[in-house]
Amino acid sequence: MSHGGTRGHGGYVKVRGAREHNLKNVDVEIPRDALVVFTGVSGSGKSSLAFGTLYAEAQRRYLESVSPYARRLFHQMGVPEVDEIEGLPPAVALQQQRGASTTRSSVGSVTTLSNLIRMLYSRAGEYPPGLPMLHAEDFSPNTPQGACPTCHGLGRIYDATEASMVDDGTLTIRERAIAAWPPAWHGQNLRDILVTLGYDVDVPWRDLPKKDRDWILFTDDQPTVPVYAGYTPAETRRALKRKEEQSYMGTFTSAKRYVLHTFATTESALMKKRVSRYIVSADCPLCQGRRLRQGALSVTFAGFDIAGISRLPLKELAAVFTSSRDLRLTRRGRVDDHPEKTLVAQRIGEDLEARLGVLLDLGLGYLTLERSTPTLSPGELQRLRLATQVHSNLFGVVYVLDEPSAGLHPADTESLLRALDRLKASGNSLFVVEHDLDVIRHADWIVDVGPAAGEHGGTVLYSGVPEGLARIESSSTRRYLFGAGRPPRRRPREPGGWLRLEGVTRNNLVGLDVAFPLGTLTTVTGVSGSGKSSLVSQALVELVAAHLGHEVEGEEAEGEALEREDPGAVGGRIVAGIERIRRLVRVDQKPIGRTPRSNLATYTGLFDHVRRLFAATKTARARRYDAGRFSFNVAKGRCATCNGEGFVMVELLFLPSVYSPCPTCHGARYNAKTLEIEYRGQNVAQVLGMTVDAAWA
């Protein structure tokens, strides 16, 4: 490892023998009270050093000072593989991650601005005559005393209607006109019950009397009647008349009752997703989507109720408080003023203005307080948390950041750098994992990790001031930081046609006309919040999918399905070029694996081919092993001790859980019989342990 120069700083963090993930016994000294940027190609080991080693060790040391009982409340990282770390201050991590999965989490709650706004309305708001003073909790939609009693603070009500549950009125009940009813036997059972009850299941749904349609869809009655399975309606009527013995007794459930009951009680994510398609939402009729009780909504400040002020962009919100402050200054001394209200408004207003100033400086002035966190990009969410830390005025802390420039337009990077400088000026250290060249050039110190990814990385190539990196020939960062790695300019490809959209309306896009060239690589750019994602990831995808007859599935967030943000329908149409498009593929930022059992081979489908290759070997055929035998998710082939995990977990209650290799399979994940099958001298566990390069060779 090469060192390059020194600058004034407050000492060093000294790391000895770091072996986390692909790090190769790394020794490095990193200055404190400086902006330190960790660079290198993706997968080189930057995050393993910054987060997996430095932050993990700082968290472990801090939690040792916390009581064992309180320790259980923290998400504890594992103990890092490192020999020694000296001079490490307390650390705060600001990582790239998605927002909480419920609309109850918002910009206001993440930044704590909503708490100040509620206090402002409680103490300094304009109350209507006769309304007693309300506490801050009364202005929160997430508390029983503040939430609208009709929508419970969601702002929307949910119901199942005839239009949502019946897709095609020309179909009969026997032809599954009621799409919301369950498939297979359960749906047949409900249709047989209707036959017993005397309803005609063989006429088009729209031709049934409205009274009958409403009873079938919405009744709360649950009559239990005899069912004659396999009988025609005529045979059922004769059997009832003759009082023949029934096949069984069946209980009827209306379509709406089935949908709502299943959604509320099922533990199956697939069932919940299926029935949620038949539930429609609308603004709450009591609060008109404002989520609060009427008393709280009647209190105003600067002419806005609290719901209205929460819908203002942060830039406009800052202007409201500036105007309010100026108005208070001009009215000071009037006898009808309430001095206590003026004092409260002044103190809270000053705090709000300071916090809003940081957010505006980070380029987030287009957000609103009520904007839910699931709709934020990881970069936006990280900058919100960064703004909170800038305002906290902590001293002597290490901030570990994961690509804070992600999603930022170059025009916004300067404001990010100013925020980082403010944190450093407050006496803190910043360890930043970053690819953006502007941020790297702004660094006081660079730790370059490489030279390549995976097993070809894990080495600190350089640690020093940025200028010294120019001497490191093996550094990929050097070539781009100092201009030698710029790709040659190429001649743009001529479009093979144009996809033209008119009147696109979505989020902040209103009546936009746009044309995309076909047969080319097109980049859509703009400052943060300008509408790029609304245009490409939402409007374009949905309009093309509609023409192709595809159903666009939104990002599947965890949590309550009905509390996810409803983006609304996209406006606009495609006027030309759609005939040239035959297929739509969307690549988004969702995590590719939902369980620890998901890996590169299973996600890409490569493992299916690998399992078939092993099943086709002579030994496997002789033993009658099929491809399923070579899956670590199937009991017959996997290790019975660890259930195919390859490790066993030891729960230590007050300490992070310890994972150790399975004592039976020693991490191979399969039982001994399965591992006896080899393909070209390798068993299936050895193949899974190969790199892609090794497997290709």
Strand partners, 678: none
Measured distance CA(322)–CA(345) in Å, rounded: 12
Write down how long the chain is.
697
Q: From residue 420, how far is each of 31, 160, 437 by CA, in Å?
A: 16, 50, 15
Query: Does 180 share its domain with 260?
Result: yes
Residue 333 in this model has a pLDDT that exceeds 50: no
Same domain? 554 vs 604? no
Exposed, middle or buried: residue 234 (CB in 10 Å: 0-12, 13-18, 19+)?
A: exposed
Tell me the C-alpha distance between 168 and 172, whole Å. 9
Is 592 contained in some domain? Answer: no
Q: If we measure between CA atoms, which residue out of 677, 693, 675 comes closest to residue 685? A: 675
Q: At 463, phi and psi to the nearest 5?
A: -140, 110
* Measured CA angle at 585 (ends 577, 564), to 5 deg: 110
**Shortest CA distance to 644 belongs to which of 657, 631, 660, 627?**
631
Give 245's contacts (C-beta < 8 A, 6+ positions apart).
none
Please report which confidence band the pLDDT of residue 338 belongs to, taking 50, 70 and 90 as the band edges. Answer: low
Task: Please state, for a pLDDT cut of 70, what percent of the chain lies above it.
Answer: 89
Domain boundary among 549, 580, 611: 580
| Residue 510 within any structural domain of the chain | yes
Q: How confident is the model at residue 335 (pLDDT cuts 50, 70, 90)?
A: very low
Name the pLDDT band for 558 (thresholds 50, 70, 90). very low
Using one digit for the tens of pLDDT, what is the confidence trace for 21-31? 999 999 999 99
Residue 649 has what pLDDT? 77
| Res. 417: pLDDT tops 70 | yes
The proportion of the chain whose per-residue pLDDT surpasses 90, expressed as a percent, equals 59
Evaluate whether 213 touches 230 at the Cβ level (below 8 Å).
Answer: no
Task: Please state, in angstroms and rounded to a whole number, the distance separating the CA atoms of residues 552 and 178.
Answer: 22
Distance CA 86, CA 78 (A): 19
Residues 6+ apart with CB under 8 A from 544: 499, 574, 578, 581, 584
Cα–Cα distance measured from residue 296 to residue 310, given in angstroms and rounded to the nearest whole number: 13
Position 266 scores a pLDDT of 86
* Residues 81 and 24 grouped into a single domain: yes
Q: pLDDT tens across 436-452, in order?
A: 999 999 999 999 999 99
Task: State mean pLDDT over 217-246.
Answer: 92
Is 513 among the domain residues?
Answer: yes
458-478 pLDDT, tens per residue? 999 999 999 999 999 999 999
In the block, which residue shows the tokens 């287009």?
366
pLDDT digits (tens, 9 = 90+) for 235-293: 999 999 998 999 999 999 999 999 999 988 888 878 888 898 899 988 899 999 999 99
Does the residue 586 lie in any domain? no
Strand-pair partners of 15: 28, 85
Question: Which two three-digit tokens encode residue 678?
Answer: 């080899």
Rounded Cα distance, 543 and 432, in Å: 39
Q: Is the pLDDT of residue 410 over 90?
A: no
Closest CA to 445 of 91, 34, 54, 14: 34
Please answer whether residues 204 and 171 qualify as being in contact, where contact means their C-beta atoms are separated by less than 8 angstroms. yes
Q: Residue 194: which domain range? A: 161-278
Residue pair 567/533 in contact (Cβ under 8 Å)? The answer is: no
CB 541 within 8 A of CB 570: no
Is there a single domain that holds both residue 177 and residue 273?
A: yes
Note if the pTM is more than 0.75.
yes
Q: pLDDT by residue (tens digit) across 581-599?
A: 999 999 877 766 556 677 8
Query: Phi/psi of residue 389, each to 5°?
Result: -70, -35
Per-residue pLDDT at 694: 84
The whole-number pLDDT of residue 556 equals 46
In a domain, 181, yes or no: yes
- Quote the tokens at residue 352: 């709000």
> Residue 632 is encoded by which pair of tokens?
């670590």
The HSE-up count of residue 328 (CA atoms within 13 Å, CB side) is 21
Per-residue pLDDT, 422: 92
**Residues 298 and 381 reside in one and the same domain:** no
> Are 76 and 116 part of one and the same domain?
no
Is residue 625 domain-shared with residue 516, that is, in the same domain?
Answer: no
* Same-domain check for residues 447 and 503: no
Is the pLDDT reported for residue 434 higher than 90?
yes
Q: Which whole-number Å values give the CA distances from 666 to 455, 614, 644, 670, 678, in the listed order?
A: 22, 21, 11, 9, 18
Residue 416 inside a domain? The answer is yes
550 domain-assigned: yes
Q: What is the dihedral of CA 342, 345, 351, 353, to 10 degrees?
A: -100
Q: How many domains does the chain have?
A: 5
The b-or-e profile of 269-306 (16+ CB within 10 A means b, else e) is eeebebbbebbeeeebeebebbbbbebbbebbbeebbb
Q: Do 635 and 565 share a domain, yes or no?
A: no
Q: With 80 as the cut, is the pLDDT of residue 540 above it?
A: yes
pLDDT of 40 higher than 70:
yes
| Largest CA-CA distance found in the chain, in angstroms, rounded | 101
Residue-wise burial string across 200-211, b where 16 or more C-beta atoms lie within 10 A, e elsewhere: ebeeebeebeee
Question: What are the C-alpha distances in Å from 352 to residues 46, 241, 338, 380, 388?
Answer: 36, 77, 21, 20, 12
- 261 & 333 share domain: no
Q: Which residue has the tokens 């899956």?
A: 631
**Statement: residue 662 has pLDDT above 50:** yes
Nearest CA among 28, 34, 26, 2 for reference residue 13: 28
What is the reported pLDDT for 656?
A: 57
Give the residue-averaged pLDDT of 159-187.
Answer: 91
**123-161 pLDDT, tens per residue?**
989 999 999 999 999 999 999 999 999 999 988 888 999
Beta strand 248-251 pairing with 224-227: antiparallel
Strands 658-661 and 304-305: unpaired
Q: What count of other Cβ atoms lies within 10 Å of the Cβ of residue 630?
A: 29
pLDDT for residue 192: 93
pLDDT-based confidence at 392, cuts 50/70/90?
Answer: confident
- How far apart (Å, rounded) are the C-alpha atoms in residues 600 and 605? 8
Angstrom distance (rounded) from CA 512 to CA 575: 13
Q: What is the mean pLDDT of residues 81-90?
A: 95
User: 271-277 long-range contacts, Cβ below 8 Å, gap at least 24?
Assistant: 272/561, 273/561, 275/180, 276/561, 276/562, 277/164
pLDDT of 329 > 60? The answer is no
pLDDT tens readout for residues 307-316: 999 999 999 9
Res. 326 pLDDT band, cuts 50 70 90: low
Query: Which CATH number belongs to the domain containing residue 622 in this structure?
Result: 1.20.1580.10
Angle of helix 255-265 relative to helix 210-218, nearest 10 degrees, comes to: 20
Which sign does the torsion angle of CA 444, 449, 451, 452 carry?
Answer: negative
- Between β-strands 2-4 and 459-464, what pairing exists: parallel, antiparallel or unpaired? parallel
Question: Do 385 and 475 sit in the same domain of this protein?
Answer: yes
Does 595 fall in a domain? Answer: no
In this structure, what CATH number is given to the domain that contains residue 190?
A: 1.10.8.280
Q: What is the pLDDT of residue 571?
A: 87
Using CA atoms, how far apart are residues 364 and 358, in angstroms rounded to an integer? 9
122 and 87 housed in the same domain: no
Domain harbouring 526, CATH code = 3.40.50.300
Burial annotation 342-365 (CB, 10 A radius, 16+ → b, else e): bebbbebbebbeebbebbbbbbbb
Q: How far apart are CA 560 and CA 568, in angstroms?
A: 18
